[in-house]
Chains A and B, each alone.
Chain A
Amino acid sequence: MDNENEFTGADILLKALKEQEVDTIFGYPGGAVLPIYDAIFGQNFLKHVLVRQEAGAVHAAEGYARSSGKVGVLLVTSGPGVTNVVTGLTDALMDSIPIVCISGQVPSHLIGTDAFQECDTTGITRPCTKHNYLVKDVSKLSETIHEAFKIASSGRPGPVLIDIPKDVQFAKSKYIPKKEINFREHRIKAGSKNVDKNFVQELVNHIKNSERPIFYVGGGCLNSGPQASQELIKLVNKTNIPITTTLHGLGCFPGEDKSSLGMLGMHGNYEANLAMNKCDLMINVGARFDDRVTGRLDAFSPDSIKFHIDIDQSSINKNVKVDFHTNTDITQTLKEINTFIESNKIELEKKDYSNWWGQINDWRKKECLHYEQGDEVIKPQHAISRLYELTNKIDTFITTEVGQHQMWAAQYYKFSKPNRWITSGGLGTMGFGMPAAVGAQMANPDSLVIDVAGEASFLMNIQEIATAVQYKLPIKIFILNNEYMGMVRQWQELLHGSRYSESYVDALPDFKKLAESFNAIGVRAKNVSELDDVINEMVSIDRPVIADIWVDKKENCFPMIPSGAAHHEMLLSKYDKENPENQEKGKVLV
């Protein structure tokens, strides 16, 4: 008997998505999700974006989430549909991006029989999701979806997958709205509720007594929300303490501000890495002491007292032992620190750390990002600098692929606001940037979205150009075309005697013609005199554009802390010689 209070699993899914205020879903159909596609047909609150490969859907959802602060959602079919998203789920797990992936599964009674397009989805995705579910009973579906959104976005965010067998999509049950669901606290992992007063007090005392303090800020600050960035700016201004950010922290603090030392780490600024090495007080705000950041651990910031704010308990004391830590939300913690300083009239302003700044300014004189642009061949660094100069008046979102171009974008593009910089850090996924730009443009239809790409990476998810064209998303693919897997070539030059094994990208397509064949626009700059015009033209076109920027093929990305070396052993240019002992040890690292 049909009951009017009962809905099919597919309808329940849509009702739950609506209640979660999801307006965009990236997906690709197949047999095991047809009932859901049927429900999507003939409704109008949810915009479905048809990608060209499921990898595109998951990276688009990541781009959507990163650029909007909301949960990104995708829908894929069973078997190959879901195995195609494994890379993206892992990427989102490493970079703490909240996404919910809905996958179809073969009907319950066929599970375990090696049915057509069956795979052990929860088994395959268990290690690459924050949590996953196989929903066997339609009456549990509403609750599962609402819990999935809660888990994806709470505490340290991450990807959550819900596998729904086809029969469950057809089966009927009541819909349970979010407010009627009793979320169980232990499952949500939202960190400690109250800010540790003792931590705040200790921190302020240490700030008062330190001579060489530094803020070391990571992606956690971004994930805590835009307010975190406001509180951080307030605190930095109040204390005059230098601040460096990780790759993912870029934008949490204005890159052009005088207190900013820029990015730290393997390709970070000289002054940022030296300051980390010599500081006496390190205040880590939502960063995880990643190996790209710390360099050789036994030489990492040997003389500092370390404070760590991180909502993820497992990030504390994992790689580096800290002296004080708190497992609370960053916005809340920074707010409490600011309030404490204000209400106790602690005048930190008087402490100007002038010796420390003097030292830092000496390091700055090295001009570690200096490059020489000649009259002909475009230096990749120059291409990014010009891109920045010509777009910084516009609200611009930059996504990237992975390689040298990514590092140059991080070094030469200055971000003044959070959520404008979308890159694959933890996993380093080539092919991320193009679909991520699709997602970012969906979330920010009126903004400029640019994928700073390498020609090799772009080829990995190039099919998504068609998605951009279909949905009239005017994204720009800004290719620093060096005809090499540049980052691989660089390591081969530095560590493997310039034996460029398989790093030349032969048989490249003509990117201009390629754009045209997709009904996008192609532009090209072959030398430096054409660069500004090409950038301006690219920005002015209200359609997807592929800009093929021919850059110096042999340029390397500096400064660089080679793997296995310490912060103060940074190489500034290829003329710097590396300690041969480090080189041998570094070779075995990644």
Chain B
Amino acid sequence: MSKILVIAEHLDGKLNSATARAISAAAAVKPESIDVVVLSDAPDAIAAEAAKIEGVSKVVTVARAENKHALAAVLAPQIAKAAAGYSHVFAPSTTFGKDVMPRVAGLLGAAQVSDVMTVQGSHVFTRPIYAGNAIVTVEAPSDHPVVATIRTASWPAAGTSSSAAPIEVLSLDVKLPSHTRFVELKQGKSDRPDLQSAAKVVSGGRGVGSKENFDIIYKFADKIGAAVGASRAAVDAGYVPNEMQVGQTGKIIAPELYMAIGISGAIQHLTGIKDAGTIVAINKDGEAPIFEVADIGLVGDLFKLLPELEAAIG
């Protein structure tokens, strides 16, 4: 029987909702147990959140001052040690999981399955390659723990449970390196919904034309309560910060509604939105490839159409 360890992702003392998506993937393995490990300098509040997620058997906390920031070089040896006795180690395929998990796999001498989309069996998974142009079925060897990152857009967040799972303190005797030091994290401050978990996302592309013009996107997004994203071209041109990039090398998201405004629909961008419920495209070029995947398309000038839309919504 499988026993799965899920690595909790958190920031500023709060559990990241991507963790609950990784727990859904763990549940799909139909394991004997799903434990969540919280590595932090102050794990208690985070652990209490994790304990309430449906399907969690228990939460273990590793409290060390060195765990204040999520440094892969510091966390990986602890995770590799904590993984003893588990058949699987999962984390969300966010920049956190992508950074730390291959390091864990390296320490365990195990191959890693990146971006798990579906679970076909305890060691058989599907994952995307070539920017999602092909989906491969992979079988992980059974003589090592399965180290995997979970493509969050493919999985719903596990629900909340009526009773909280027990929380245990784990002390790990691991020597930690001092060769890697945290300097700072510059976070984009925003009162808007979080891009990765929002139900609605409005994204702007190169067609928006400038940083100043992007206000029209923000304004429309606020009108409908949406998060704001962007194409790589918009990020490269400096209209918006990097954390807003959607696509193969940015964020992979699955909102109920995705609106692409002035975005042509390059394959690398589409990779990021394949799992969106409804895709709406607004583009002045009726031949733009975005219309091949859009559920609803509207040809026209975004600067004319967005105010009209706002007015029509009322």
Does chain A bind chain B? no
Give A contacts to B, CB under 8 Å: none
